[in-house]
Amino acid sequence: MTQNTTVAAIQTAFSEDRSTNITRISHLVREAAGKGAQIILPPELFEGHYFCREEREQFFNNAHPLEGHPTIAHFQQLAEELNVVVPVSFFEKTGPAYYNSVAIIDAGGSVLGVYRKSHIPDGPGYEEKFYFRPGNTGFRVWTTRFGRLGVGICWDQWFPECARSMVLMGAELLLYPTAIGTEPQDLTLDTKDPWQRVMIGHAVANTVPVVAANRVGCEGGQTFYGHSFIANHRGDKVAELGRVDEGIIYTTFNLAEIALSRASFGLFRDRRPELYSTLTTADGTT
């Protein structure tokens, strides 16, 4: 495991054609690797448009099992060729169950495992409960060739419990593939700033870098607002794309130095888990 790790986040628009999207992400992964990126994060569900805008049973045809999944196999080959880590978001079918999942592909091309999205939103434009069961994997941390990664998916990023759990499990970087934009019920509502602030809070509260990759473009009247960013362990935004930009952002972190900062800051030393039992309840009762 190297001391310095270069991470990248991809931001782009997508079409309804899977092969076009796979080609686009592949080109951007290749470009990022060529510029020194070792961990490269594409957005959530990048094989097509964000289909969860509405409840339509035909979209269940887009789900496939992990084993034999053509998109994952493609990025395994690419990761092996380029010696990079690529978390691949996909619509997973296993038996009669469907999940919003991410496969962690290590440098060398092996699939380290799958994380299934724990928190499933349900609201106008984000009708995910129609499609996905809540994930049954629990939070996961992955030891890759270039660092220990915690990966949450979109709505997970709003929950401090998710971030804290992954860092307690040893995550050195937190990654969040995302699809977020306008709210169909209120076109004046812009959640970009709260969206960034909550993840920056995770960075500060856990002394850990955070990487978020969002999409851009208009899909069926819903506009995705981009602003993919990378924050360091102090919560400083060290790289960011704009509202309509397509491209890649990069940052290099010294994970060993960050680990020392985490230890010396004292947040994990001073935690009082014996006082936090309320957090394991649904309504605050003990």
The one catalytic residue among 52, 92, 93, 154: 154
Using CA atoms, how far apart are residues 285 and 164, in angstroms rounded to an integer? 22
Exposed, middle or buried: residue 234 (CB in 10 Å: 0-12, 13-18, 19+)? middle
**3-state DSSP call for residue 200?**
helix
DSSP conformation class of 25? H
* DSSP annotation string for 218-266: EETTEEEE---EEE-TTS-EEEE--SS--EEEEEEEEHHHHHHHHHHH-
Does the annotation mark 192 as catalytic? no
Beta carbons of 117 and 136 less than 8 angstroms apart = no
Using CA atoms, how far apart are residues 91 and 29, in angstroms rounded to an integer? 20
Does the annotation mark 52 as catalytic? no
Does the annotation mark 154 as catalytic? yes
The one catalytic residue among 52, 117, 128, 172: 117
Active site members: 44, 117, 154
